[in-house]
Amino acid sequence: MGIPKNGTFLQNVERMVAKTVRYLDLPPGWAEEIQAPDTTIKVQFPVQMDDDTWKTFTGWRCTHSEHRLPAKGGIRYASIVNEDEVEALAALMTYKCALVNVPYGGSKGGLRINPREHSVGELERITRRFAQALINKGFIGPSDNVPAPDMGTGEREMAWIVDTYQTLKPEDINYLGCVTGKPVDMGGVRGRTEATGRGVMYVIREFFRNVDDVARTGLTGTVAGKKIVVQGLGNVGYHAAKFLAEDDAKIIAVLEWDGAIVNEDGIDIDDLRQWIDVHGGVTGYPYGTYHLESRKLLTYPCDILVPAALEGQITVENAADIQARLVVEAANGPITYEADRILNERGIMVIPDFYANAGGVTVSYFEWIKNLSHIRFGRMQRRLDEFRAAAIVEAIESATGKEIEAKLKHHIMQGSDELSMVRSGLDDTMREAYQEIKETFNEHNDIVDFRTAALVVAMQKIANTHKRIGL
Ligand code: NAD
């Protein structure tokens, strides 16, 4: 049987790998092993609802690769989750971690549920039962497998998971590292919630620093003034849009599940987000034109398109009509394999998901390190830094006889706190990975897209690990 027109999510990831393998010097059979998911478990468990009825839930967790441990990847709550999707997302995690030098294997979990249909109490009982099932099977733990938030989950669910883990494993002194994306007062790290969206902004900044890449797209200048369309104003989309707007980009359209808002003068992202929080969607938002068929707006004229909602959004049906010059995949798998080919042929640059949205796992890595070291970043050296900087400022002022301007002095004398260290580490990671991708892209005349170049980089690193320790 041939692959259907747009293929399943996993088939799309597999086709991407198949396209890349010829650029790698791998022993026979290695590509298949790197690509194949190691283990996928399916769990089913009953939970009592508020009306005293019982409902059975189905969830999956896939460990795609354990070439490095722990394996890392989010837990998604959505009514359409299935095994294929979880395995595809786990594979992307393996490549993502390798690409951005985060020393983890790849994993992903999913629970088939519509969170909007449940009370907070029900969601807590469901999450705790799901976590219990995964912990008992060795699929959650600081040294084996560390989940994080994804679509439909956030720090609230991560807090329930860590508490369930601690209850079941009270002897584990590193219990806080069993999950990332926790609230800061439960072992989370400052800057994690916004990390994926902030990472998307850092990626776009780095793109504009590379004038040859910018020239290939036909764009010019910086992100300031660029017209951007964002699909999905959830965790990733909201933060990406907010930080891009802070860089003076114009968010001219936001596409949500119940419709889209277009405003050529730029949308006030915080205002729209607040509207969604109160009303459940964009419908009725007064500052822009409402369109019911949200997905059609993916082809709206703009400079940069940021799909930040779901997989399979740009397909063979709409790829020929995309008008953006740059597409940044903030979501996982928003462009199908065939659609990606069409965009490449049309000279539209695509920054691939397993690089563009790697900010989340990068800051999760920082959080996990914080949990294992049992100390907040900056706690030991912040005041020391300030003390030394003050001494240098004093020496400069007394040597020159001039006082340094107050704002600059304050800036120089500020010690590094956790948030500034996390942001610096994230920025550095995203910039370094961009350059690694670009180097491979430039080395191969026949690689025409950043996705293939990024996958060559990632798979080569995974293969190097296997060369040292065996398959
Ligand atoms: P989220 O649940 O916070 O937000 C998703 C948003 O998309 C919501 O606002 C939702 O209403 C909207 N949406 C749902 N269906 C839609 C539709 N048909 N059209 C338009 N919008 C729709 O999820 P998130 O955490 O922001 O994740 C979004 C994507 O980013 C997913 O692909 C996820 O795997 C990926 N991702 C998330 C993280 C993270 O740290 N949260 C990290 C890496 C990748």
Q: What is the pLDDT of residues 234-283, one digit of tens each?
A: 999 999 999 999 999 999 999 999 999 999 999 999 999 999 999 999 99
- 31 Cα: distance to centroid of ligand 1 (angstroms): 30
Set 72, 108, 226, 250: catalytic member: 108
- 331 Cα: distance to centroid of ligand 1 (angstroms): 6
Residues contacting 200, CB < 8 A, separation 6+: 236, 239, 240, 243, 244, 306, 308, 328, 330, 356, 357, 359
Rounded CA-CA distance 87/107 in Å is 8
Q: Is 250 a catalytic residue?
A: no
Helix (H, G, I), strand (E, B) or coil at 423: helix
pTM of structure = 0.95
- 256 Cα: distance to centroid of ligand 1 (angstroms): 10
Atom of ligand 1 nearest to the CA of 76: 34
Answer yes or no: are the C-beta atoms of 155 and 183 closer than 8 Å: yes
Whose alpha carbon is nearest atom 37 of ligand 1?
Answer: 150
Spell out the SS3 assignment of 20-63: HHHHCCCCCCHHHHHHCCCEEEEEEEEEECCCCCEEEEEEEEEE
Whose alpha carbon is nearest atom 19 of ligand 1?
Answer: 257
Whose alpha carbon is nearest atom 17 of ligand 1?
Answer: 257
Summarised one tens digit per residue, pLDDT across range 141-175 is: 999 999 999 999 999 999 999 999 999 999 999 99
Q: Read off the tokens for 53.
A: 């009825």
The amino acid occupying position 108 is K
For the chain, give every domain's residue range: 37-186, 189-381+416-471
Whose alpha carbon is nearest atom 29 of ligand 1?
Answer: 331
Summarised one tens digit per residue, pLDDT across range 340-388 is: 999 999 999 999 999 999 999 999 999 999 999 999 999 999 999 999 9
- 111 Cα: distance to centroid of ligand 1 (angstroms): 15
Rounded CA-CA distance 169/163 in Å is 10
Answer yes or no: are the C-beta atoms of 416 and 381 closer than 8 Å: yes
User: What share of the chain has pLDDT > 70, as a percent?
Assistant: 99
The amino acid occupying position 128 is R
* Per-residue model confidence (pLDDT) at position 305: 98
Probe residue for ligand 1, chosen from 310, 311, 351, 430 as the CB with the greatest number of ligand atoms within 8 Å: 310
Rounded CA-CA distance 340/346 in Å is 10
Helix, strand, coil percent values for the chain (each to nearest 5): 50, 15, 35
Rounded CA-CA distance 299/442 in Å is 30
Rounded CA-CA distance 314/327 in Å is 10
pLDDT confidence of 4, banded at 50, 70, 90? low
Report the relative pairing of strands 105-112 and 304-307 from DSSP bridges: unpaired
Atom of ligand 1 nearest to the CA of 310: 32
| Strand intervals (E) in 264-395 | 289-291, 304-307, 326-328, 349-351
Report the relative pairing of strands 75-78 and 105-112 from DSSP bridges: parallel
- 114 Cα: distance to centroid of ligand 1 (angstroms): 14
Answer yes or no: are the C-beta atoms of 230 and 240 closer than 8 Å: yes
- 238 Cα: distance to centroid of ligand 1 (angstroms): 9
DSSP secondary structure string for all residues of 335-370: B-HHHHHHHHHTT-EEE-HHHHTTHHHHHHHHHHHH
Rounded CA-CA distance 239/233 in Å is 8
Query: What does the radius of gyration of the chain's CA atoms come to, in whole angstroms?
Result: 23
Summarised one tens digit per residue, pLDDT across range 64-105 is: 999 999 999 999 999 999 999 999 999 999 999 999 999 999
Q: Which of 86, 58, 51, 83 is nearest to 71 (CA)?
A: 86
Probe residue for ligand 1, chosen from 96, 113, 196 as the CB with the greatest number of ligand atoms within 8 Å: 196
- 153 Cα: distance to centroid of ligand 1 (angstroms): 10
Whose alpha carbon is nearest atom 8 of ligand 1?
Answer: 234
Helix (H, G, I), strand (E, B) or coil at 328: strand
Reply yes or no on whether the pLDDT at 2 is more than 50: no
Q: Which of 394, 390, 411, 412 is nearest to 403 (CA)?
A: 394
Whose alpha carbon is nearest atom 36 of ligand 1?
Answer: 331
Domains 37-186 and 189-381+416-471 share a fold: yes
CA angle 52, 54, 60 (to 5 degrees): 140
Q: Read off the tokens for 275.
A: 């509207």
Superfamily for domain range 37-186? Leucine Dehydrogenase, chain A, domain 1 (3.40.50.10860)
Residues contacting 248, CB < 8 A, separation 6+: 223, 224, 225
Whose alpha carbon is nearest atom 23 of ligand 1?
Answer: 151
Q: What are the pocket residues of ligand 1 if the criterion is a CB atom closer than 6 Å to any ligand atom? A: 149-152, 196, 231-237, 255-257, 294, 308-310, 330-332, 357, 360
pLDDT confidence of 469, banded at 50, 70, 90? confident
User: If one looks up domain 189-381+416-471 in CATH, what number appears?
Assistant: 3.40.50.720
